[in-house]
Chains A and B, each alone.
Chain A
Amino acid sequence: MSDLTPKQIWIVGAGPAGIAAAEAALESGATVGVIDENPAPGGQIYRALLGVMKPEIQSRVDALHAKGVLFLNQTTVIDAPAVGELTVKGPNGPERLRYESLILATGARELFLPFPGWTLPNVMGVGGLQALVKSGLDVSGKRIVVSGTGPLLLAVGAYLKQKGAKVVRIAEQAPAQRIREFTQRLVGYPYKLGQGIPLMLSIGATVRTSAWVERANGSHVLESVKINSHQEPIRCDYLACAYGFEPNVELATLLGCELHRGFVEVDETLRTSVPYVWCAGEPTGIGGIDLSEIEGKIAGYCATGNEKAAQRLMPTRARWMRFAAMLEVTYALRDELKTLPNPETILCRCEDVSIEQATEWNGSRAAKLHSRCGMGPCQGRICGAAGRFLYGWEHGTVRAPLVPVPLSDLTERDPELTNHTN
């Protein structure tokens, strides 16, 4: 192929990493497309999680549009049938795309851990509840407990309060001492500190550290939660609970990328072990928006052969990786959380498999085969992640389709490669 033909880059994920990658790849003169399953670009954080939506994000997306970047919204990658090809499913059905370079910016999802009552209605994720409120759920006057771990608890607690909810307790499992040390070191990241202070002022009084929900009570729907540090159960209408993030590595795994400690292994140019595949953002390590943005830029440059531009950003990446390391230490999950579920607590929500049934077997594959744990439509996305924390389970095999699809989508496998670039 002649050097004059622009390189075709596809980016999977339109969050901070994906958008930054698109900008950088465009700068190098590539033809860029961005695939995201959501109706609009922005990703989890810009759209829902932090609540502190960066105002310039829409104008960045608009600018990319104007320069010819194609956004395939409501489009999910379901398969990688051959080297250099993806099968995606969008509003117009399945189609195949060809890439010369691929950047995975697939983000992370919340990590849920089982405890008695975690499957009751009105027990949800922290980002999950915020997303519901954003899409119209009225929480004014509702009593809400927020629990789990990480800075997100504060951000969402403050957001819910602003929406008129009564945030009765924020239970943070990390110990006070570690959070104090973290806060002191935030001086090196003044803008993060600047984000944190108003949150603390708004909602800080309800925070308890070294605190976690032991049990959610209710006959049909959530009525109260028992927190370890409180004698009496706390009455509440909602529990928002998540233990940090679990990287979305399914597509990377399907492509054959090596993982290291559960994250996609990359070199300093963010190249994965698979040729022509780069990875940026949460799948390489949980570090928040800033690390994701900078990794997106680096991957966008490197995937288009502009390593020089990337070099300049590496010190900034290193700085945010130190921040990520601080987060990891501060909010490391405590072993007590492993003791919360009872034998009869459900582990696999798709297939109703209890802890007792699943742990009779040695490892996730044996548990899957013998107890059906992880066999359902979510293919172990939730219970597999919990099992890795609780029992040191291995990552399961990832197989196409990455999400359930009608069988008809699997028959029409041989449509002509779609040419989105005219």
Chain B
Amino acid sequence: MEVGTYDAIVVGGGIVGCACAYYLSEVFESVLLIEPGPIGGGSTAAGMGHVVVMDDSPAQFALTHDSQKLWKGLFSQMSDACEVRETGTLWVAADEEEFSHVEGKRRFYEQHGVHAEVLDSQQVAEAEPNLRPGLPGGLRIPGDCVIYPVTAAGWLLEQAKRRGTVVRQGKPAVKVTGGSVMLSDGSRYTSAVVVNAAGGHASELTPGLQIEPRKGHLVITDRYPWFVHHQLVELGYLKSAHEMSSESVAFNVQPRATGQVLIGSSRQFVGWDGAIDHRIVAKMIARAAVYMPKIAELSAIRIWTGFRATTPNKLPIIGSMPEDPRMMIAAGHEGLGITTSLATGKLIADLASGITPRIDPSPFAPGAAYHHD
């Protein structure tokens, strides 16, 4: 059953798919986005929404930095429901050893155009009175911010719809090639470009992509607007995110625009089992309480889990498949897809329309993680 032809089709309505539709609709006449569930109902509904510049690798820095700039260019237009808050990030050192790396980190950020400030013990205590007294210090990145990912994805798609993007909701794609997409009800759409933005499920549609779900837990509290001001992350976070160990937790606490406190985070490889793992939740909260003892008194209203789409080289897969340039991938964003969604969408639109990209696309090319042997 042939039902339509478009210039570009995006498969998946998470924040990455919505960002692709946003930028593709700027360069193409007709765009179709396909999503089986609610918009932003996948990993996007689970993510913390920290829009953060990360210095884990040069490629990751370039993508997160570029994407944050794109976000900041949109904030003034975005709706209140997107809950944009310019909180900054405070990377907290647990001990002198961690604190000794802070100055080097600051220099790196500053050299690459991101303002960063070293806070000493007293300044950290003043900035966040609920942190444990006596911490040696930290690194503040004032430019980082927090959004609510689901409504941000919805807003991006809304803008794309105003430019003519069509949304087909309710049925999953079952077969995806460079020129066409077939849905589970048999309807078939053809297109010059197809973007697989199915997040952790992308590898089900494009065999050979190496994407593994990495489970995370989050806990949200009732409203305590005075409790925390910055997104707080332990400096050891990178270590925990980076290690491909089977299980880790890190101190990661976020003030929501609602006054709620969102507490993360954990990482586990357990397949797609979304059940709450009480042992991990306990570990995660205990970790948070090491940094913020009073957090234990706050009232928790919900716990949930989500999945990060993890790739072997820890970078998202963005670009054309080597054997079929019309088949593009925008997936595998691990724990940074809220941040990097916009740069991803822009990169996809630039590559699809022959515009020279703003950042070097080669580290993200499907070949880099695809057929990884």
Contacts and interface: CB of A to CB of B under 8 A. Distances in A.
Interface of A: 79, 81, 361-363, 365-366, 369-372, 375-377, 379, 399-401, 404-414
A410 B285 contact: yes
Contact of A408 (B38, B222, B296, B304): B296
Nearest to A397: B304
Interface in B34-84: 37-41, 45, 81
A404 B276 CA distance: 16
Contact of A369 (B38, B289, B299): B38
Contacts of A399: 276, 302-304
Interface in B288-306: 288-289, 295-304
B251 to A, nearest CB: 13
B18 to A, nearest CB: 12
Interface string B339-360: 0000000000000000000000
B304 A370 contact: no
Given A369-B150, A414-B279, A406 B300 contact: yes
Contact of B300 (A370, A372, A401): A401
Given A369-B41, A407-B288, 14 more contacts: A362-B169, A365-B38, A366-B41, A370-B38, A370-B81, A370-B154, A371-B81, A377-B222, A406-B297, A406-B299, A407-B289, A410-B219, A410-B285, A411-B285
A407 B296 contact: yes
Interface string B318-347: 000000000000000000000000000000
A417 B167 CA distance: 52
Interface of B: 37-41, 45, 81, 150-151, 154, 169, 219, 221-222, 258, 263, 276, 278-279, 281-282, 285-286, 288-289, 295-304
Nearest to B280: A413
Contacts of B40: 369-370
B41 A412 contact: no
B282 A410 contact: yes
A198 to B, nearest CB: 44
Contacts of B258: 372
A412 B150 contact: no
Contacts of A409: 300
Contacts of B41: 365-366, 369
Contacts of B304: 399
18 contacts: A363-B38, A365-B37, A366-B37, A366-B38, A370-B40, A370-B154, A400-B276, A404-B299, A404-B300, A407-B263, A407-B296, A407-B300, A408-B297, A411-B296, A413-B281, A413-B282, A414-B279, A414-B282
B184 to A, nearest CB: 18
Contacts of A376: 301
